[in-house]
Amino acid sequence: MQDKKHSPVWTFMALAILALFIIFVVYPLALILYKSVIDPKSGALTFENFIRFFTRKYYTNTLLNSFKVTTVVTLICAFLGLVMAYIIKQYNIKGSSALNIAIVLSYLSPPFIGAYSWIQLLGRKGLFTKAINSAFHTQFEGIYGFWGIVLVFSLQSFPLVYMYVSGALENLDNSLNEAAESLGANNFQRVSGIILPLVLPTVLASSLLVFMRVFSDFGTPMLIGEGYRTYPVVLYNQFMGEVTNDSNFAAALCVIIMLITLIFFFLQRWIAARHSYSMTALKPMQPRKLRTLPNILCHLFVYLVVLLAMLPQLTVIVTSFLKESTPGIFTNEFSLVNYRTIFSKNPRVIPNTYIFGLCAIFLVIFFGVLIAYLAIRRKSFITETVDTLTMLPYIIPGSVLGICFLYAFAKAPLVLTGTAAIIIIALTVRRMPYTIRSSTAIISQISPSIEEAAISLGSGEVKAFWDVTLPMMMPGVISGAIMSWVTVISELSSSIMLYRASTQTLTVSVYTEVIRDCYGNAAAYSTVLTVTSVLSMLLFFKLTGKRSMSV
């Protein structure tokens, strides 16, 4: 395709997109990097911020804590996700479609909602805590700190491994199983010698995604960590000025966490590229029958895990309809007071969430499809640069992106602080890499000759794209858009940095209400969010006819 001149329209569009990315991704990142190594008074190059971080035990400990908690969570998630996916795909589990939706749903809800629900259940005054203490006459103080964080993150993130491994198992042709059996392998030999090695790259790659996600999340450790300080908590506090307000030091903290996620990003890509087997199943695995006892045990295990994963959501929905006697203590009295409060308190929250979400989705799809198309079909130096740049947001933790935006767009020429635009752009930038990747996959499946046929029949290049390629992409793009929508409306970490009262969204409201101990309001906000997600997902399943989804 290099030998032929393409319409200049494509080059113009590629340049325009490149400019936008330089303004909204490269410039804020460069600014953070610059701030982290510059002395604000003298303007000289300095590594003082980094030295300060790595020489003080207070800071290095938080890094160590983060690594510890994230490693344990990742191991648990890898195990749970693998076992759950294997059982559900390999055996006849009753209600597996509903289980699938429940698992995905528990992944899509913001992690900190899990944290605060578990405080309701297993915290100091928690429902379960009281029950345990009265039953066993113990002085159980509730689950806070390390194990609290591990509990919440594990139940919330194993679905990621589950979804990826389920996909890999679906692509595993049953004849591989049959070949192993015909060669004398028993069940154990078959699973350990064939299935496990084949899905292991997927387990590793998805586990690293879990690692990156858990490592940079601050809402959960903030709520349930108490004395157990993790890196993102310190980053947030440093920035929000609770301790000191040293923006250059905060910038250095941002740079350090990005370097860590960058390393894990490359590790993840290396494993995914090197150790994956391209498989397509002609005949997928058939569910096998189990004997009675193993069958009961499998059902018990699967349902218990899903129940635990869904428990935060259920708690939130139930408590949203209960009246609080004092903040944090719910009575058994049914009431709609929480909903009345949230609708009257800040009526803009729900419209904000929907409008920001829709705007972001529109931008994400427009640019995502265009960039994917340019990168595959109109390869040039510019489009390849754009393609690489779009992967940057993938490694930027949400809170860091929020901080970057605050620094970059507080002063002229581009003042966006406090506007809806800055939140919409942040959401768009964060979601962009995922949409580009899925669009790339969709375009790769469409033969270029289809577009060439349109051109040979007399339409121009842009018209051919519009008339032929775009409509063919649409079904895939729309199902991707629904997934983006669900993730965008539950985004917290960058919105929390960028919001004002006028641009408050549902997730931000849940968070702020929890911090203020207004659990009733938080539960009501959270329920609105959950209902939206569930409806969107049902729409997704209805439209695509699929039974599983990838995020």
Partner 1 sequence: MGVSIEIDNVTKAYQNNIVIEGLSATINPGEFFTLLGPSGCGKTTLLRMIIGFNSIEAGEIRVDGKRVNDIPTNKRNMGMVFQNYAVFPHMNVRDNVSYGLKNRHMGKNERNQKADEMLRLVKIDQYANRMPAQLSGGQQQRVALARAIVIEPDVLLMDEPLSNLDAKLRVEMRNVIKRIQREIGITTVYVTHDQEEALAISDRIAVMYNGVIQQIGTPKYIYQRPANEFVSGFIGLSNFIDASYKDGVIDFGSFYREPLKLSEEAGSEVRVAIRPEEFVIHKNGEPGIPATIISSVFLGMTLHYFASLDNGQEVEIVVPSDLSDILPDGQRISLGVVPEKINVFDRKTKNTLIPKGA
For residue 106 the two structure tokens come to 């528990």
Q: Name, in order, each residue with C-beta under 8 angstroms of 511's C-beta and a sequence gap of 6 or more.
A: 112, 219, 492, 496, 522
Of 44, 135, 282, 412, which one interacts with partner 1 (CB under 8 A)? 282
**Residue 192 binds to partner 1 (criterion: CB under 8 A):** no
The residue within the footprint of partner 1, chosen from 277, 362, 366, 466 (CB under 8 A), is 277
CB of 201 vs partner 1, minimal distance in Å: 9
Q: Annotate each residue in 198-237 with x if it binds partner 1 (CB under 8 A) or - if it does not, as one string.
A: x---------------------------------------
Residue 183 CB, shortest distance to partner 1, in Å, is 3
Q: Quick one: which of 95, 193, 294, 475 contacts partner 1 (CB under 8 A)? A: 193
Residue 81, strand partner residues: none
- Considering only 37, 72, 132, 185, the residue that binds partner 1 (CB under 8 A) is 185
Amino acid (1-letter code) at residue 125: K
Residue 230's φ and ψ, nearest 5 degrees, are: -105, 170
| Residue 46 token pair | 């300095």
Task: Return the number of the residue (197 or 327) whose C-beta is nearest partner 1.
Answer: 197
Rounded to the nearest angstrom, the gap between the alpha carbon of residue 100 and the centroid of all alpha carbons in its chain is 17
Residue 334, H or E segment: strand 329-334
Using an 8 Å Cβ cutoff, are 9 and 383 in contact? Answer: no
Question: For partner 1, which stretch binds (CB under 8 A), given 35-43, 187-195, 306-314, 532-540?
Answer: 187-195
If one asks whether residue 279 binds partner 1 (CB under 8 A), the answer comes out as: yes
Pick from 18, 91, 140, 181 the residue near partner 1 by CB under 8 A: 181
| Residue 173 in the binding site for partner 1 (CB under 8 A) | yes
Q: Can residue 189 be called a binding residue for partner 1 (CB under 8 A)?
A: yes
Distances (CA, A) of 475 to 13, 82, 337, 374, 452: 24, 30, 42, 19, 21
Q: Does 183 bind partner 1 (CB under 8 A)?
A: yes
Using alpha carbons, select from 543, 508, 501, 550 the residue that is nearest to residue 529. 508
Question: Closest CB to partner 1 among 287 and 327?
Answer: 287
Q: Is 184 in the site for partner 1 (CB under 8 A)?
A: yes
182 sits near partner 1 (criterion: CB under 8 A):
yes
CB of 444 to partner 1, least distance (A): 19
**Cα 523 to Cα 61: distance, rounded to the nearest angstrom:** 33
Q: Considering only residues 9, 15, 16, 179, which one is a binding residue for partner 1 as defined by CB under 8 A?
A: 179
Q: Which of residues 38 and 281 has its CB atom nearest to partner 1 in the complex?
A: 281
Shortest Å, Cβ 293 to partner 1: 19
DSSP 38-58: B-TTT--B--HHHHHHHH-HH
Collect all residues with Cβ–Cβ distance below 8 Å to 131 and sequence separation of at least 6.
Answer: none
CB-CB neighbours of 55 under 10 Å: 9
* Spatial distance between the Cα atoms of 170 and 32, rounded to a whole number of angstroms: 43
291 belongs to the binding site for partner 1 (CB under 8 A): no
Residues in the chain: 551
Q: Is 170 in the site for partner 1 (CB under 8 A)?
A: no
Report which of 368, 370, 360 is spatially closest to residue 421, judged by C-alpha positions: 360
175 binds partner 1 (CB under 8 A): yes
Mark residues 237-276: x for contact with partner 1 by CB under 8 A, - for none.
Answer: ----------------------------------------
The site that binds partner 1 (CB under 8 A) totals a number of residues, namely 21
The Cα 460–Cα 285 span in angstroms is 46
Interface residues toward partner 1, by CB under 8 A: 173, 175-176, 178-186, 189, 193-194, 197-198, 277-279, 282
